[in-house]
Amino acid sequence: MAVEAKPDWRAHALAALERAGYRSSAPRSAVVETMASEGCGVTARELADRLHGRGIGQASIYRTLELLDQLRLVQRFDVGAGVARYEPAFPSGEHHHHVVCDRCGAVTQFEDDDLERAIERLSQRLDFAVDAHDVVLRGECPACRERG
């Protein structure tokens, strides 16, 4: 059985930026490229660390993330303490949700078909066309609970 490949978010994002009238720039392309290579959400600071030495300022990273968020090319989610993480938003709608440990900051992704069906039922009951959603559960991870 063949495994379906992840959509090429990098190409999708660059094409969407061009269609929206944004010129290609080295900093913007580097942020998109780095975002495409990440797994679960990344912070602006983590992107800056990965792009260190390439002459890309943190302000450019924040501006690019803000633009990608406005164009709905990334999903932004807050993990507490004023920290936001970003991850690619696939045009197919493929996504996952997150559990965040309030003590150590660990972020774990999860998928749940029952949750997706519940959100769809809620959307129908409210007669509200839900375009997107994000779920962030907060609590204490097993390691932190063990430490007491």
CATH code for the domain in which residue 129 is found: 3.30.1490.190
**Residue 107 is encoded by which pair of tokens?**
């972020």
State pLDDT tens for residues 31-65: 999 999 986 789 999 999 999 989 899 999 999 99
**Percent of the chain residues past pLDDT 70, beyond the cut:** 95
**Residue 35 is encoded by which pair of tokens?**
């975002």
Which residue is listed with tokens 């045009």? Answer: 91
- pTM for this one? 0.81
Confidence of residue 94 (pLDDT cuts 50, 70, 90): confident
Cα angle 98, 99, 102 (rounded to 5 degrees) comes to: 135
**Are residues 44 and 5 in contact, defined by beta-carbon separation less than 8 angstroms?**
no
Same domain, 102 and 146: yes
Same domain, 81 and 103: no
pLDDT (average), residues 76-99: 87
Same domain, 83 and 108: no
Same domain, 81 and 141: no
Cα angle 144, 145, 146 (rounded to 5 degrees) comes to: 90
Task: State CA 135 to chain mean position distance.
Answer: 12
